[in-house]
């Protein structure tokens, strides 16, 4: 059972109470030891009496009697108590050294033998706290001549003595008496301390808000404090002597309690939660801290439990669970709304932007060209607003992930400024970029989100500056293997008040209504910028004076990368002729979006087969040959996810299926991968983006997942390693053809068995062979598999990549075996 956070404090209370029991047990054992010693001494005295009785009536045994008396004297000297033996005339017969020490007698015991003791009480009374009472009591004992044991006397110096008086009779005639004094100061102090400690803890136990009970091995209650009675609703006499489980649990949870009792017999302590009913039948929850209760012999004789009423806390936990469920449902509803909104708005936006782009390729009058430019600008502005809202929602939901790839900071800054330079020129503003020296050529991070931050900050600076300049400065400092980058965007614009600056990063916030009317915008840009910088582990500072300008400073840290991790910045010309003759199935329920795709592909000699839902798509795939499917996700009759799942289960594992979706929600992208789709193209898309996807999957004779139009393999590195040794090269190819398919199969089985460690080991094992044989098409794939297995083992991308890797290896091995028959 989940431990309650209050268990630790209850355990501490239980430890204190257990310590009290242990201290009491120690004191009881010491007292018993003292009582045993006293009893032994009494036996010796009895023996002395018997010896005197047997020998004093036999004159012929005087020598023997003296011998026995001598032995007894030696024995008395070894006693841990002061002994004084007087005859009937009060002359000293025997005395030991301890007696002399107790009363500071300056004589040795043998020197005192025969001395008259009749005045000793008066002489010794100064040692006692109540001297006159001491003398009176001695005289009374001598008169009464009765056996007195364990009489306590308080000394003036604080010591406490225990005195025994033993009259000696021979043939019913008084023959003297024996005094025994024992220093019991330590024992009495311990007893008083025990009483005080016992009383202290008893008061604590009785008054604390924790209920305490002790039960025996039969679970019968032997003690309970008042708090426990108040918690349970029972009086003490209704509890003591009764079985705790029968009274409080009403026969429920018997197995649990039996297990707890068995653990007590083994000496274990623990804390657990239990549901009970009080006397009124009300359901309650208690946190119980239990420990074994030990006897003087060390045996477990029962258990002790401290009980805390956590009913209110359990009710609060229940309410929190309900609230959490409601919040999750609200979040799901919000996410669904955003997905639907994204789909409903971005779908027509895709048509407007794409058809507008196609229209720019036609011959238009200047007037028509102006109107078309305004339409495209308005559509892009609307798309920015939609993206802002979706980005903010994704950040709030924790669904926004960052890339970790190489980029050049200087180039990134310059490109961002170049994009916005036109806006600055229109307002006759000076726009400058100053990049400090020492900036690493490659940094590792998310250049796309960083570009979004820069576009927003620089765009705002231009938007809110009517005259003057906007300057972007970048400085850096190297610390270890990272660079601390500081980016400042300074403008001479309208600035802001100190009060508004405090709310600058709040969502949907602008300084006043006139700002929104004059400059436009949602008021989300700075909030998104702040959260993106936070995700990157950076900080943002703003300094501004109303009507004098604003300076925004961003501090970020990036690991330093190496040159070969930079992605290609020049996309190059697309050879769309490679698509000629391909058959593409377009599954899209929106007529305008089908028009967009067919218009873009019209000049490529591509055959486009159009259907409006997933069910129609299945009919086509089952009856006709197609090279690729562009599959919308949300459609009537049958959506794209269900259609893709059926394609993978019943028709083809290798047919490329690319998702066409207007949703920008990450969960939908994950659902696409789970369904078996190979790629993801979000609407609205640029013409180049569509061609990139099609060329990636259709530009080779044998479509390979993740090939990026690269050759299947390159043996130049292997030839360099083997220095042209063909036998070595063929052996390496043969080993690859044997090992790689086995690794691919094991990867699939390991993922099926959720064996993440084996996935990582297999990916690590095959990487050198992939590199040495120049299998560039799978170099990034196998590394991504290892990365996902390490950081995101539940990612839906992982099984897709493993399937792609297995399929690609199959094609590569088949090609090698056909090219090199000897292997």
Asked if 695 contacts 709 with a C-beta cutoff of 8 angstroms, the reply is yes
What is the per-residue pLDDT across 591-615, written as a single tens digit (0 to 9) for each? 888 888 888 888 888 999 999 999 9
Q: Would you state the pLDDT for residue 138?
A: 92
Dihedral of CA atoms 431, 434, 440, 441 in degrees, nearest 10, equals 50
Helices (H), 87-235: 97-102, 109-112, 120-124, 131-144, 185-207, 226-232
Mean pLDDT in residue range 551-565: 82
Q: Would you state the pLDDT for residue 679?
A: 83
Mean pLDDT in residue range 515-543: 72
Q: In the numeric block, which tokens belong to residue 527?
A: 């909030």
Is 110 a residue whose pLDDT tops 50?
yes
Is 41 a residue whose pLDDT tops 60?
no
Backbone phi, psi, residue 479, to 5°? -130, 105
Q: Would you state the pLDDT for residue 584?
A: 94
CATH for the 716-819 domain, from 1.10.238, 1.10.640, 1.10.3470, 1.20.120? 1.20.120
Is 190 a residue whose pLDDT tops 80?
yes
Is 320 a residue whose pLDDT tops 80?
yes
Is 509 a residue whose pLDDT tops 80?
no
Categorize the per-residue pLDDT at 119 as very low, low, confident or very high, splitting at 50, 70 and 90.
Answer: confident
Is 372 a residue whose pLDDT tops 50?
yes
- Does 3.30.479.30 match the CATH number of domain 24-187? no
Is 196 a residue whose pLDDT tops 90?
no
Q: Would you state the pLDDT for residue 622?
A: 93
Where in the chain do CATH 3.30.565.10 domains reside?
409-565
Q: Would you state the pLDDT for residue 137?
A: 93
Q: Would you state the pLDDT for residue 608?
A: 94
Is 515 a residue whose pLDDT tops 50?
no
Mean pLDDT in residue range 425-443: 89
Instruction: Give how far Cα 258 sits from Cα of 248, 251, 272, Å.
Output: 14, 12, 14
Please count the CA atoms within 13 angstroms of the CA of 458 that sit on its side-chain side: 28
Mean pLDDT in residue range 569-593: 80
Q: Which residue has the higher pLDDT, 134 or 568?
A: 134
Q: Would you state the pLDDT for residue 3?
A: 42
Secondary structure (DSSP) of 720-786: HHHTT-HHHHHHHHHHHHHHHHHHHHHHHHHHHTT-HHHHHHHHHHHHHHHHHTT-HHHHHHHHHHH
Categorize the per-residue pLDDT at 445 as very low, low, confident or very high, splitting at 50, 70 and 90.
Answer: confident
Categorize the per-residue pLDDT at 371 as very low, low, confident or very high, splitting at 50, 70 and 90.
Answer: confident
Backbone phi, psi, residue 108, to 5°? -80, 160
Where in the chain do CATH 3.30.450.20 domains reside?
24-187, 208-309
Secondary structure (DSSP) of 496-553: --HHHHHTTTSTT--SSHHHHHHH---S-HHHHHHHHHHHTT-EEEEEEETTTEEEEE
Dihedral sign, CA of 766, 769, 772, 775? negative
- Does 3.30.565.10 match the CATH number of domain 409-565? yes
Mean pLDDT in residue range 462-477: 91
Mean pLDDT in residue range 538-543: 91
The domain defined by 208-309 folds into Beta-Lactamase (3.30.450)
Q: Would you state the pLDDT for residue 8?
A: 47
Categorize the per-residue pLDDT at 628 as very low, low, confident or very high, splitting at 50, 70 and 90.
Answer: very high
- CA-based Rg of the chain, rounded to a whole angstrom? 48
Q: In the numeric block, which tokens belong to residue 581?
A: 């003759």
What is the per-residue pLDDT across 705-753, written as a single tens digit (0 to 9) for each? 433 445 677 777 776 676 656 677 778 888 888 889 999 999 999 988 8
Q: Which residue has the higher pLDDT, 322 or 64?
A: 322
Is 516 a residue whose pLDDT tops 50?
no
Where in the chain do CATH 1.20.120 domains reside?
716-819
Is 322 a residue whose pLDDT tops 70?
yes
Mean pLDDT in residue range 571-589: 82
Q: Would you state the pLDDT for residue 329?
A: 81
Q: In the numeric block, which tokens belong to residue 327?
A: 């919040």
Categorize the per-residue pLDDT at 58 as very low, low, confident or very high, splitting at 50, 70 and 90.
Answer: very low
Taking alpha carbons only, the member of 769, 780, 634, 815 closest to residue 707 is 780
- C-alpha span between 45 and 79 (Å, rounded): 11
Share of the chain above pLDDT 70, in %: 76
Taking alpha carbons only, the member of 493, 489, 490 closest to residue 468 is 493
Is 378 a residue whose pLDDT tops 80?
no
């Amino acid at each position: 059972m989940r431990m309650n956070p209050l268990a630790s404090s209850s355990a501490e209370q239980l430890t204190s109470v257990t310590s009290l029991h242990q201290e009491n047990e120690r004191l009881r054992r010491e007292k018993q030891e003292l009582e045993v010693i006293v009893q032994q001494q009494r036996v010796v005295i009895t023996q002395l009496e018997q010896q005197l009785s047997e020998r004093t009536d036999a004159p012929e045994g005087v020598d023997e009697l003296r011998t026995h008396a001598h032995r007894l004297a030696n024995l008395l000297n070894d006693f841990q108590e002061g002994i004084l033996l007087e005859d009937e005339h009060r002359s000293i017969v025997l005395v030991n050294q301890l007696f002399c020490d107790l009363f500071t007698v300056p004589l040795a015991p043998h020197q005192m033998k025969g001395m008259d003791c009749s005045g000793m009480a008066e002489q010794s009374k100064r040692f006692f706290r109540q001297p006159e009472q001491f003398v009176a009591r001695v005289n009374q004992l001598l008169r009464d001549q009765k056996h007195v044991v364990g009489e306590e006397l308080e000394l003036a110096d604080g010591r406490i003595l225990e005195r025994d008086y033993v009259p000696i009779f021979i043939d019913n005639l008084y023959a003297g008496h024996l005094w025994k004094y024992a220093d019991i100061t330590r024992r009495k102090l311990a007893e008083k301390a025990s009483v005080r400690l016992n009383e202290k803890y008893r008061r604590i136990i009785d008054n604390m808000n924790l209920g305490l009970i002790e039960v025996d091995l039969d679970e019968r209650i032997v003690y309970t404090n008042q708090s426990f009675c108040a918690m349970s609703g029972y009086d003490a006499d209704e509890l003591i002597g009764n079985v705790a489980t029968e009274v409080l649990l009403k026969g429920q949870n018997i197995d649990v309690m039996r297990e707890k009792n068995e653990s007590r017999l083994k000496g274990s302590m623990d804390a657990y939660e239990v549901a009970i009913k009080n006397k009124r039948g009300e359901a309650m929850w208690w946190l119980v801290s239990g420990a074994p209760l030990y006897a003087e012999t060390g045996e477990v004789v029962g258990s002790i439990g401290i009980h805390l009423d956590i009913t209110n806390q359990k009710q609060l936990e229940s309410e929190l669970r309900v609230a959490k469920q409601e919040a999750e449902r609200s979040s799901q509803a919000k996410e669904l709304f955003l997905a639907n909104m994204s789909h409903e708005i971005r779908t027509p936006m895709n048509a407007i932007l794409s058809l507008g782009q196609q229209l720019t390729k036609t011959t238009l009058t200047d007037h028509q060209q102006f109107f078309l430019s305004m339409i495209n600008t308005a559509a892009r502005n609307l798309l920015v607003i939609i993206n802002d809202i979706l980005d903010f929602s994704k950040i709030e939901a924790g669904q926004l992930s960052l890339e970790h790839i190489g980029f050049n900071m200087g180039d990134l800054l310059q490109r961002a400024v170049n994009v916005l330079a036109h806006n600055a020129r229109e307002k006759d503003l000076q726009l400058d970029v100053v990049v400090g020296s020492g900036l690493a050529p490659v940094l590792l991070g998310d250049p796309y989100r960083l570009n979004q931050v820069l576009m927003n900050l620089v765009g705002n600076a231009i938007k809110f500056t009517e005259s003057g300049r906007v300057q972007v400065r970048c400085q850096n400092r190297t610390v270890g293997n990272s660079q601390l980058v500081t980016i400042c965007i300074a403008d001479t614009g309208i600035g802001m008040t100190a009060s508004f600056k405090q709310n600058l990063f709040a969502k949907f916030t602008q300084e006043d209504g006139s700002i929104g009317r004059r400059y436009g915008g949602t008021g989300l840009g700075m909030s998104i910028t702040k959260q993106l910088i936070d995700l990157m582990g950076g900080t943002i500072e703003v300094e501004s004076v109303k009507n004098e300008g604003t300076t925004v400073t961003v501090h970020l840290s990036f690991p330093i990368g190496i040159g070969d991790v930079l992605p290609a910045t020049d996309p190059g010309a697309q050879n769309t002729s490679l698509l000629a003759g391909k058959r593409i199935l377009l599954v899209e329920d929106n007529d305008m979006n089908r028009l967009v795709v067919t218009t873009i592909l019209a000049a490529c000699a591509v055959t486009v087969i159009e259907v409006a839902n997933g069910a129609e798509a299945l009919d086509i795939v089952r009856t006709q040959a197609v090279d690729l499917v562009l599959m919308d996700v949300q459609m009537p009759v049958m959506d794209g996810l269900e259609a893709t799942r059926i394609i993978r289960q019943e028709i083809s594992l290798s047919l490329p299926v690319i998702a066409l979706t207007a949703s920008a929600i990450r969960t939908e992208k994950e659902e696409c991968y789970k369904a078996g789709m190979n790629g993801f193209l979000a609407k609205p898309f640029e013409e180049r983006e569509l061609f990139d996807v099609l060329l990636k999957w259709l530009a080779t004779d044998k479509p390979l997942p993740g090939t990026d139009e690269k050759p299947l393999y390159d043996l130049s590195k292997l030839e360099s390693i083997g220095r042209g040794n063909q036998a070595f090269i063929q052996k390496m190819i043969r080993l690859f053809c044997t090992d790689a398919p086995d690794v691919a199969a094991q990867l699939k089985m390991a993922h099926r068995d959720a064996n993440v460690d084996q996935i990582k080991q297999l990916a690590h094992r095959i990487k050198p062979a992939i590199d040495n044989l120049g299998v560039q098409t799978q170099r990034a794939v196998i590394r991504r598999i290892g990365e996902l297995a390490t950081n995101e083992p539940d990612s839906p991308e992982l099984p897709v990549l493993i399937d792609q890797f297995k399929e690609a290896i199959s094609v590569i091995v088949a090609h090698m075996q056909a090219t090199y028959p000897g292997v």
